[in-house]
Amino acid sequence: MPGAAWRLWERVFFRPAAPLGLLACRWLVSLQALWILLSRPDLPELVSWPAEFWSGGDPLLRARFGLLGLPLAVERGLYAAAHLSLLGALLGVAPGVACAASAALLYHFAPLEELLVGMPHTSFGGLTLPVLALFVLAFAERPRWRDAPSAEFRWPLALIQLLFAFSYLFPTLAKLRYSGPGWFTGDTIRNYLLGNHSITQAPWALALAGSPAACWAIALGTLALELLSPLTVVWPGFALAFALVALAFHYGILQAIGYFFPSAPLLLLFLDWDGIARALARRGGSSPP
Amino acid sequence: MSELLRLGSFLVFLALGARVRRIRGGAPRRRAVNVLLGYSVALSLLAGATQRDDWPFSSHTIAVGRPRLDAPICMTEFSGVDASGGEWRIDPYSWSPLYDSILQFWFEQRYERLSSEAQGGVLRFLLAKAEAARARLASGKRIGFERRLGPAASPYWLLLPRRPAAPTAYVRLRVQRACWTAASPQQRTRTLLAEHRP
């Protein structure tokens, strides 16, 4: 790796960081995953659906996620265990074990619904980052509130932030691959607005579609937001601005085309956690943790 | 084969993570962390750049086409029919844990390949689910994703319109293919795909 790139790598992943960021990361991804699981109370019941629904799919795909024909009662037990292990991760009860168990169980359950049709949109279900993040947290050192800043508290958070940033960057790579730069035009946005309105009846669609300037702003704004997303791990000030703009972006998408982004709460990962730790330390009258 | 490769790529991630966990301090640990970081970033970039999904290292593929206003948009619609012959669009959360759009995918990909006996079984099962959900909704109870958390629940990412529950029981299930264009969304053609009458 060239010298400048190596220095950037070292700065992004190994600059000393306060433990607060990693603690907050564990709280956020655990809460996010719990929210999704509590919003899918019937998920294990799918294994008891008639065999016809499961016929014709790739058995290796099911095996890859541990769908091995276990009885419904076992799947229900595992689903309850996923809730409990996430609660353990959230509260810091044996956090390493809790994170590893949560990640493994989420890996099993997250794609369950879409396994019937080949997983076209599993990454939009709100559990993709929690699966990876909880594994990374299981691999990492366990932070404690009063620990001194360390690179051991930086690299896991930076990796998780970068993986989340990729969920913004890759949709643009996909658009460029399949449609080229011509995707990012006002016409494309207008046609998406009108087409989706006929399916979702999103409230802002027709008004926005009637404004070429708004369509162009959405097209170019989408390009800028998604292409710049990896900078969030390089520059904490940019990360905060990104989180605010992305939140507005998701709200706009919800109102304009009726796509909900279940991972929006994870934008809190981009807060300047070291800055918050310093502010808390100043307020508490002690040196930063 | 591709599923085995994908599983393998994930197991390598776990093995590299376990190695980080095992090595304590010093240069060997830094090297192990760098290998884990490099692998995770490279695998993600591979999925994103090639658009070959390797979930949870995902390609995040969505809305990649350039739609035309005159191109047909088609959806599979599930309707319940009451005793008086009235047709009601079934609430998208009625199939919980499956969301309506996933069931649509499944129906379009797999239903026709089933034997007529199996098709009958599928429709019977779906009618029972639709009616159970209708009855819950009509009695003011929550269904699907909202059953535990109510309006605080995370919805499915594609927000299909929800309509008031039918007041009387469904006695038949009707599955139709509806097509239209974005330019003329009111001009919809509907083709009957299947109907179940117990």
- The series of mean pLDDT values per 10 residues for chain B, 198 residues long, is 93 98 94 98 97 95 94 97 96 97 96 96 98 97 96 97 93 98 95 94
Residue in chain B closest to A193 (alpha carbons) equals: B182
* Cβ within 8 Å, pair A170-B61: yes
* Cβ within 8 Å, pair A191-B161: no
C-alpha distance from A174 to closest chain B C-alpha (Å): 6
Say which amino acid occupies A256: A
The conformation of residue A17, written as its DSSP 8-state character, comes to B
* Cβ within 8 Å, pair A132-B63: no
| Whether A78 contacts A110, CB under 8 Å | no
At residue A64, the 3 state secondary structure works out as helix
> Looking at beta carbons, which residues of chain B come within 8 Å of A53?
106, 110, 122
* Tokens of residue A56, six digits: 């014709």
Share of chain A above pLDDT 70, in %: 98
Q: Residue A285: what pLDDT?
A: 65
* Average pLDDT for chain A: 95
Q: Residue A22: what pLDDT?
A: 98
ipTM over 0.90? The verdict is yes
Closest CA to A172 of A119, A222, A239, A243: A222
Q: Residue A289: what pLDDT?
A: 46
> Looking at beta carbons, which residues of chain B come within 8 Å of A125?
157
Q: Which of A50, A107, A167 sits opposite B122 (nearest CB)?
A: A50
* Cis geometry, peptide bond prior to residue B56 (ω within 30 degrees of 0): yes
Read off the pTM.
0.95
* Average pLDDT for chain B: 96
Burial of B139 (0-12, 13-18, 19+ CB in 10 A): exposed
Compute the distance between CA of residue A83 and CA of residue A80 in angstroms, rounded to an integer.
5
| Whether A169 contacts A223, CB under 8 Å | no
Closest CA to A195 of B13, B135, B158, B167: B158
> Is pLDDT above 90 for A57?
no
Any B CB within 8 A of A179 CB: yes
* Alpha helices for chain A (secondary structure H): 3-14, 19-38, 51-54, 59-64, 72-91, 95-109, 128-139, 155-179, 186-200, 205-209, 212-228, 236-257, 273-284
φ and ψ of A92, to 5 deg: 80, 25
